[in-house]
Structure 1
Amino acid sequence: MATIATGKVLHRVHGATVAARWYGRKDATWRWDDPEGKFGVLYLGKTLVGPFAETLLRTPGDRDVLWDQVARRRAANFTIMRPIRLAKVHGPGLGWFKTTAAGVSADFDPVDNPGAYVVPQQISAEIYKSTSLDGIQYRSRFDSDELCIALFDRADAAISLGAEGVPIGKDWTQKLLADRGYTLIEL
Structure 2
Amino acid sequence: MLRPRRLRQGSILHRIHRKTLSPLFFGPAGATPLQRYDDPAGDYKTLYLALDLETAFGETLVRVPTVTDVLSTDVAVRVRSTLVATRALTLYPLVDAGVSAHGLSFTELHGSDYRRTQAIGAEIHAGTRADGVLYTSRFNDRRCIALFDRARDAVAIGVTAALMPEEAQALAARFGKSYVDP
TM-score above 0.5, yes or no = yes
- Given the alignment of the two structures, is residue 12 of structure 1 paired with residue 15 of structure 2, yes or no? yes
Per the alignment, in what secondary structure is the counterpart of residue 11 of structure 1?
strand
Cα pair 2:169 2:178 within 8 Å, conserved: yes
- Given the alignment of the two structures, is residue 118 of structure 1 paired with residue 115 of structure 2, yes or no? yes
Distance 1:141 1:180 in 2: 12
Query: Letter of the aligned partner of 1:13 in structure 2?
Result: I
Distance 1:179 1:80 in 2: 27
Map of 1:32 onto structure 2 = 37
In the superposition, the TM-score normalised over structure 1's length comes to 0.90
> CA shift at 1:143, angstroms?
2.1
Distance 1:179 1:14 in 2: 19
- Given the alignment of the two structures, is residue 97 of structure 1 paired with residue 76 of structure 2, yes or no? no
1:96-139 C-alpha deviation (Å, 9 max, x unpaired): 212111122111xxxxxxxx111100110000001100000111
> CA shift at 1:163, angstroms?
2.1
CA RMSD of aligned residues (A): 1.2
1:34-90 C-alpha deviation (Å, 9 max, x unpaired): 000011100000011122111110121121111111111111111111110101112
User: What fraction of aligned residue pairs are identical, expressed as a percent?
Assistant: 33
Q: For 2:150, which of 150, 154, 162 is the aligned residue?
A: 154
Q: Which moved more, 1:47-56 or 1:170-179?
A: 170-179
In the superposition, the TM-score normalised over structure 2's length comes to 0.93
Map of 2:25 onto structure 1 = 22
> CA shift at 1:142, angstroms?
2.1
Q: For 2:133, which of 136, 151, 158 is the aligned residue?
A: 136
Distance 1:18 1:79 in 2: 18
Q: For 2:168, which of 161, 173, 176 is the aligned residue?
A: 173
Q: For 1:163, which of 156, 159, 173 is the aligned residue?
A: 159
> CA shift at 1:179, angstroms?
2.6
For residues 44-123 of structure 1, what are the structure 2 equivalents within 5 Å? Answer: 44-107=49-112, 116-123=113-120
Gaps of 5+ in 1: 108-115
